[in-house]
Homo-oligomer: A and B are copies of this chain.
Amino acid sequence: MNTSSAILRFICPDRPGLVSKLSTWVSSNQGNIRHADHHTDERAGLFLSRIEWDLEGFQLRRDDINYSIQKVAKVLAGTAKLNFSDELPKVAIFVSKQSHCLLDLLWRVESGELQMEVPLIISNHQDLKRIADQFNVEFKYVPVVNKEISEKIIMKHLSDYNIEIIVLAKYMQIISANFLDKFSDIINIHHSFLPAFKGAKPYHQAWERGVKLIGATAHYVSEDLDNGPIIEQTIEQISHRDNVDDLIRKGRDTERIALARALRLHLCRQVIVYEGRTVVFA
């Protein structure tokens, strides 16, 4: 049960025989499939698949698996991503002043819920350094005076620590298009059920509008602010008794849950992104 597995995420134009082709590729190499999920987006004409199989007994060596599956992808005019369940991706957490998401993520890493390594925390404020210290994580204070310069500094840190994934855990800065060109695996938590209350101060907006539900949205970051592919959304009930401070307080819980769930789905390679949206094989 805890042995390692290979995880394939595959997208290609839809046509008959694809499940058979992929699963037979696995079984012909003596792979035992643990999970196989498929989805056809009829509008887009796409077939999307995630297959996970035991590495134990699999005939191909790790290095050869990718080569082999890319050949299959080429034939089917598709794209294949391969990961292994025992990878421990290096993740940088970006924060500003609020601690709740950061603490929650670090605790989940410690408890084994999130299989990842956090060697680096980046912040435009110094407030949360003490938490970084508590958990023995390097904390880099990068104030944003000039975005171009600060992003260069950040990029250098990411490179130094071999960061593969960025989590914006209440990082109150906009990521530039230039940065996004160079680094794509970025997950953000937005404190509203998007597309409601885009932009700044969503809880204030929510109170003004008099809604009866508030929410949180975890999504991949795209150039079009607050419009990236959504991974997870959660909500919380509110009432007239709740003022803006109550919304902020209640929102913290739903933010933490949405972000943690989304990140876990990402780390378990259960998410496929395509055409501005996601398939989540949960």
Contacting pair B196 A195 (CB below 8 A): yes
**A window 94-116: CB within 8 A of B:** 99-100, 103, 107, 111, 113
**In whole angstroms, how far apart are the Cα atoms of A109 and B233 in the complex?**
27
Residue-wise interface mask of A (184-214) relative to B, using a CB-CB cutoff of 8 A (1 in contact, 0 not): 0000000001111100000000000111110
Q: Chain A: how many interface residues by the 8 Å CB criterion?
A: 67
Could you tell me the distance in whole angstroms from the C-beta of A164 to the nearest C-beta in chain B? 23
Tell me the interface secondary structure of chain A in the complex: mixed
Of the candidates B20, B42, B280, the one whose C-beta lies within 8 Å of that of A243 is B42
Option from B15, B33, B111, B194 in Cβ contact (under 8 Å) with A16? B33
Indicate whether A45 reaches chain B with its CB closer than 8 angstroms: no
Check: A34 CB closer than 8 A to any chain B CB.
yes
Residues of B within 8 A of A20 (CB): 20, 23-24, 26-28, 33
A70 close to chain B: CB less than 8 A: no
Q: Which of A4-24 contact B (CB under 8 A)?
A: 15-21, 23-24
Chain B: minimal CB distance from A45 (Å): 13
Closest B residue to A19 by beta carbon equals B23
A27 CB contacts on chain B under 8 angstroms: 16-17, 19-21
Asked if A74 lies at the interface with its beta carbon under 8 angstroms from chain B, I say no
In the complex, 12 of the A-B residue pairs with CB atoms within 8 angstroms, ordered by the A residue number, are: A19-B26, A20-B20, A20-B24, A20-B26, A36-B38, A99-B107, A194-B211, A195-B197, A195-B209, A210-B277, A239-B280, A241-B282
The residues of A with any CB-CB pair to B shorter than 8 Å are 1, 15-21, 23-24, 26-28, 30-43, 57, 99-100, 103, 107, 111, 113, 134, 193-197, 209-213, 215, 229-233, 235, 239-241, 243, 249, 252-253, 257, 260, 276-280, 282
**Known contacts A16-B33, A36-B36, A103-B107; 14 further A-B pairs (Cβ under 8 A):** A15-B32, A23-B23, A37-B37, A43-B243, A100-B111, A193-B211, A195-B196, A195-B211, A196-B196, A211-B233, A212-B230, A212-B280, A213-B235, A240-B280
